[in-house]
Chains A and B, each alone.
Chain A
Amino acid sequence: MAKEQTPIETERLVGSTIDILAPKESPSDQLIPLLKRNQGIDLETDLIAKIQVNCSAVERRTNTLKNRRTVKSHWQTAWLIKAITLMDLTTLAGDDTTGRVQRLAAKALNPVSNAILKELQIDGFPVKVGAVCVYHEMIAEALKSLENTGIPVAAVSTGFPAGQTPFYLRLAEIKESVSKGANEIDVVIPRRHVLTEKWQALYNEIHSFKEACGQAKMKVIIATGELGTLRNIAKTSMVCMMAGADFIKTSTGKESVNATLPVSLVMVRTIRSYFELTGNRVGFKPAGGISKAKESLQYLMLIKEELGNRWLEPDLFRFGASSLLNDIERQLEHLATGRYSASYRHPQG
């Protein structure tokens, strides 16, 4: 094949300036120090009835979102540290003991080893998790272990995980945990009210839970894996926020399907609608099934894209996770040293 040898000149065409015709809208998500607490509004059944969710379109969005954004090197480090600070380190098992809770609290205070932080040149930065989440009987031990650390203690409540105990007992359970000193209460909803579309009944129960919580933050677990459709998930999220939820949370971790990106997308879009309706910011907590560092980044990107940076703070976003931290530690070590780590090299919780 005959080829002409012509030297390549590097041409540079400089683009002309583009006329930006529209003025910039004022950014809606400036960082604000204090959150106005959601007090709820009256149930608006018309609005609930109009909620539409298209499942396949939601899946398309979450499938492509994973590939629309990525973070590398320093940015990945910062984002993974962010994920740790948004984590509710959780133990919710029948065999929980005070010893187990002490170990968990120790991990909550030192989630990443200093050696790694030093390598990443952020060793002066106090990295700690968002909260520790336990059963009622473990509240006292958790409080004791976390005294003066600023890490809140969350307790699951209201007949967790099924919510099928008598209503007055569920209310009493909340009050009992609050009086024990729990800062946050994770309540479960009666799924039967969703499946029979008794929105008023659901609203009433959650509203009563909120009153029982008093100053404690109410995180409402809607158990997405048991609600049947994404449409039901959106409607339930909206009813719970109208009834005063401070957070809505996907799952107990005990359903067969827990947090997924499609479910989360539907819930955060509903949070946005509620914010547009009332001006109140409600937090979001995906729980169960998130165990990989990469997945945690996908959740953070979902939140950043759909709700903005304001929601990437511990007062508005939490991961409910138990094994996620270990994977993030391994990833951070890789970023620090260029070597992939083994899980046994990181201290257990």
Chain B
Amino acid sequence: MDTLNIFKTMEYGPAPESRSDADQWLASFDHTFGHYIDGTFWTSKKPVYFNTINPANGELLAQISTGTKEDVNLAVKAAQTAQNDWSKSGGFNRARFLYAIARSIQKHARILAVLETLDNGKPIRETRDIDIPLVARHFYFHAGMAQIGDSELADRVPFGVCGQIIPWNFPLLMLAWKIAPAIALGNTVVLKPSEHTPLTSLFFAHMLSEIQLPPGVVNIVTGDGETGEYIVQHPKVQKLAFTGSTSVGKRITSLAAEQNKSLTLELGGKSPFIVCSDADLDSAVEGIVDAIWLNQGEVCCAGSRLLVQEAIAETFLKKVRQRMDTLRVGSPLDKSIDIGTIISHEQRQNISQMVALGKSENGQIYQPETNIPVEGFFYPPTLISGLTPSSVLMREEIFGPVLVSMTFRTHEEAIRLANNSRYGLAASIWSENINTALEIAHEIESGVVWINTTNEFDAACGFGGYKESGFGREGGWEGIYYYTKSKPPKAQKHISTTGRKDIPKELSLPIIDQTQKNYIAGKKARPDSGYSLPVFNPQGNIVGRIGKGNRKDVRNAVEAANSGKSWKHTSLYNRSQILFYMAENLSMRSNEFADRLQLQTTYNHVEAMHEVQSSIEVLFYFASWADKFDGKIHRVSNNKTVMAVNEPLGTVGVVCPDNFPLLGFVSMVASLISMGNRCIVVPSESSPLSSIDFTQIIDTSDVPNGVINVVTGIHSDLVDPMVKHDGINAVWYAGHSDLYIQVNKLSIGNLKRIWILENNLNFWYSPISAYGKEFLKHSVEVKNIWIPYGE
């Protein structure tokens, strides 16, 4: 090579990372892999193989087994058998194994990085400097969680067997995010890596044998979507976690609906990257490189939607284009490469089609004249500017190195445009003004917000989405709650139900007629249908009439609730006061409410008073928590603070249980509004009168209009329009079990957060002792706001 010529051109030259150790390892398995089940690699008698290739040149790397139903059954069985011992073995024991895994990752760091790059096509710089170190960090963090879990999480128990399905974009990192928290807390796991990128998962399995993790604690079954569905539908899998596309996430929700499994979904995104005119523009440009040209843009939280303030748009886009010219696309194993290859031919075609669509939408397309290898599935970095909110490209995920952009005028408009999306995974805000940055950070609907930085991850910080970007969090304390459930409380002493006494005296007198209407936007509203329904007592006598609500009443209630958004911004002190005041007002009328309960149920006076008193205590409980259910501060490093903020879900549909007509209503409503949510409540079907009476308490307790709305009627009539309404963000369902599946399935449209509450005495009479925190956790989403600092 002509050194003097290089001296003149100052080119970088090739800098390939060696792959010989990785090749040796593949050869040691004859390039053919079985599943890892019960602590050993296992192949069925008639295995069906599929190929995993190197997307940079199409070379066949290995043959991988397609998991059959029998394979999955075996894996689940192994996990189930191992779970009890694993869970009982104690935090210290599990911590030792997680620590060994973390150490082992570090010992094998380079071969893991090379394997990942070979299988996925992302640059070795990223696997070496980002993926693998984060994997080790995740196991260290959760080794700690296992250690302190016995004391700090004494009120939580593991789910049992977790089914986990992970994508191809961060293969080993997603494995770590799934497996570490699950096994730290005593679950066991059946995990399926993507059919595109199974190699690091298999190496990981190989490592588990080395450290002698007890057989069955982690099982890895390879295969495609069909294998995944066997895991999803397996009745012994109690918890499902999936990372991948929103469409597959919806399919999994639908498959899991009938079994009512706990679900964590981390799905797609169209994350806004907001550049204000007072930002450090050069740094923001570099932020864009890390946001959309990390991992070829195949990142769920990629800052793919650039919103730039009109005043600086032209200057900024020019800088972006200049920066694109120096990006190097090429062999992923080269240490001086910024952008590797797309995962597959199909994926690259999708990207090409989206870019062509951008052209037809009058977007200005810029691609630098970078050398692109002919082999493989490479795609150049692309900027499409001049789009509008109605452009398909501003709305749909591209999942490639394509940045789309449009302008905004004011911060308020930036927030509105950012939230104008069905997704809500992440956001990046660039401004040197702390007021601007923090305001936007709090107003944006997304699970992660990065201020003057982007694509930062740490095991101590939760990650996950709002809206159709999924639900649940991974990482940090937040993540732990999604791999554990509340320990059931000791059984309550059953209150005797000796049959009802006589109708109270005053009600035996002729009474003034009462008309029970819906309660919408702070007003009594006649039901749209014009029909009413009789309310019977257990003896079958009519004791009142309620409105027969229909979908229009639900629609009106959603409109009312969504106009009451200021509740979210009401001070915590004020919310707390209002809840206390409701308790006070209920207490003044406790006899009357007790009588009404007696009228509708088999309660005697003592039992009815017990429910009223419990309701008052519940109001006190949530009033107390209203200003105390704080988030957390994570200190990630000496110049980075991450605020984990609890935010309300928005508008929540509530379906009350038939039993506990007052307590059920009050517990759900009080918890939700204490955290800033608005709700639309369908009262108990059989005993709805107490809820309607309660609207008078609402009226006299300074609750703003629209925060609580009540629509009465038949549950099966109202559940459908409620769960299908995209203006409702979550549904808490405590009604009849025959509607569970319908609720789960209908929620898929906008991926509502669904909480199916138990319907037994033990549950409703223990909110304070056992389930109070569970109510609160279901009332909020956690947003992690990353704030680096320093001058």
Of chain B, the residue at the smallest CB distance from A273 is B282
User: Chain A 1-30, CB within 8 Å of chain B: the 1/0 string?
Assistant: 111111011111111011111101100000
Asked if residues B58 and A14 are in contact (CB atoms below 8 Å), the reply is yes
Of chain B, the residue at the smallest CB distance from A3 is B32
Which of B256-264, B364-372, B517-525, B668-676 is near enough to bind chain A?
B364-372
Determine if A149 is an interface residue (Cβ-Cβ < 8 Å). no
- Residues from chain A with a CB closer than 8 A to the CB of B789 are 56
**CA of A61 to CA of B287, assembled, Å:** 9
Determine if B704 is an interface residue (Cβ-Cβ < 8 Å). no
User: Chain A 211-242, CB within 8 Å of chain B: the 1/0 string?
Assistant: 00000000000000000111100000000000
Which of B9-17, B533-541, B677-685, B761-769 is near enough to bind chain A?
B9-17
Determine if B507 is an interface residue (Cβ-Cβ < 8 Å). no
SS class, residues of chain A in contact with chain B: loop
Asked if residues A57 and B788 are in contact (CB atoms below 8 Å), the reply is yes
Give B641 Cβ to nearest chain A Cβ, in Å: 11
- Residues from chain B with a CB closer than 8 A to the CB of A230 are 791
- Residues from chain B with a CB closer than 8 A to the CB of A20 are 367, 369, 380
Determine if A54 is an interface residue (Cβ-Cβ < 8 Å). yes
Given A3-B30, A21-B365, A70-B15, decide whether A78 and B4 contact each other with a Cβ distance below 8 A.
yes
Of chain A, the residue at the smallest CB distance from B33 is A3
Determine if A208 is an interface residue (Cβ-Cβ < 8 Å). no
Residue of B14, B58, B286 touching A57 (CB-CB under 8 A)? B286
Asked if residues A1 and B41 are in contact (CB atoms below 8 Å), the reply is yes
Determine if B51 is an interface residue (Cβ-Cβ < 8 Å). yes
Determine if A144 is an interface residue (Cβ-Cβ < 8 Å). no
Give B412 Cβ to nearest chain A Cβ, in Å: 22
Asked if residues A6 and B7 are in contact (CB atoms below 8 Å), the reply is no
Asked if residues B32 and A11 are in contact (CB atoms below 8 Å), the reply is no
Determine if A121 is an interface residue (Cβ-Cβ < 8 Å). yes
Asked if residues A18 and B10 are in contact (CB atoms below 8 Å), the reply is no
Give B332 Cβ to nearest chain A Cβ, in Å: 14
Given A18-B380, A79-B10, A312-B10, decide whether A12 and B57 contact each other with a Cβ distance below 8 A.
yes
**CA of A69 to CA of B380, assembled, Å:** 19
Given A14-B374, A304-B10, decide whether A52 and B432 contact each other with a Cβ distance below 8 A.
yes
Determine if A82 is an interface residue (Cβ-Cβ < 8 Å). yes
Given A1-B42, A12-B57, A19-B352, decide whether A54 and B280 contact each other with a Cβ distance below 8 A.
yes
Asked if residues A56 and B453 are in contact (CB atoms below 8 Å), the reply is yes
Given A15-B373, A19-B352, A304-B10, decide whether A4 and B15 contact each other with a Cβ distance below 8 A.
no
The size class of the interface chain B forms with chain A is 35 or more
Give B401 Cβ to nearest chain A Cβ, in Å: 11
Give A127 Cβ to nearest chain B Cβ, in Å: 10
**CA of A55 to CA of B59, assembled, Å:** 44
Give A231 Cβ to nearest chain B Cβ, in Å: 7
Give A73 Cβ to nearest chain B Cβ, in Å: 7
Determine if B63 is an interface residue (Cβ-Cβ < 8 Å). yes
Determine if B1 is an interface residue (Cβ-Cβ < 8 Å). yes
Asked if residues A56 and B49 are in contact (CB atoms below 8 Å), the reply is no
Asked if residues B59 and A18 are in contact (CB atoms below 8 Å), the reply is no
Asked if residues A122 and B4 are in contact (CB atoms below 8 Å), the reply is yes
Determine if B699 is an interface residue (Cβ-Cβ < 8 Å). no
Of chain B, the residue at the smallest CB distance from A124 is B4
User: Chain A 113-156, CB within 8 Å of chain B: the 1/0 string?
Assistant: 00000001110010000000000000000000000000000000
Asked if residues A55 and B42 are in contact (CB atoms below 8 Å), the reply is no
Residue of B1, B7, B338 touching A81 (CB-CB under 8 A)? B7
**CA of A59 to CA of B57, assembled, Å:** 35
Asked if residues A71 and B15 are in contact (CB atoms below 8 Å), the reply is yes
Determine if B194 is an interface residue (Cβ-Cβ < 8 Å). no
Give B404 Cβ to nearest chain A Cβ, in Å: 14
Residue of A11, A22, A64, A70 touching B58 (CB-CB under 8 A)? A11
- Having A56-B452, A73-B1, A305-B326, one finds 15 other A-B pairs with CB under 8 Å, namely A6-B49, A8-B63, A18-B372, A18-B379, A20-B367, A22-B367, A25-B325, A64-B129, A64-B290, A70-B335, A71-B15, A72-B15, A77-B3, A78-B7, A228-B791
Give me the interface of A with B, judged by CB distance under 8 Å: 1-6, 8-15, 17-22, 24-25, 52-61, 64, 67-75, 77-79, 81-82, 120-122, 125, 228-231, 269, 300, 304-305, 309, 312
Which 5 residue pairs of A and B lie closest in terms of their CB atoms, listed nearest first?
Answer: A13-B58, A75-B13, A57-B283, A56-B788, A78-B6
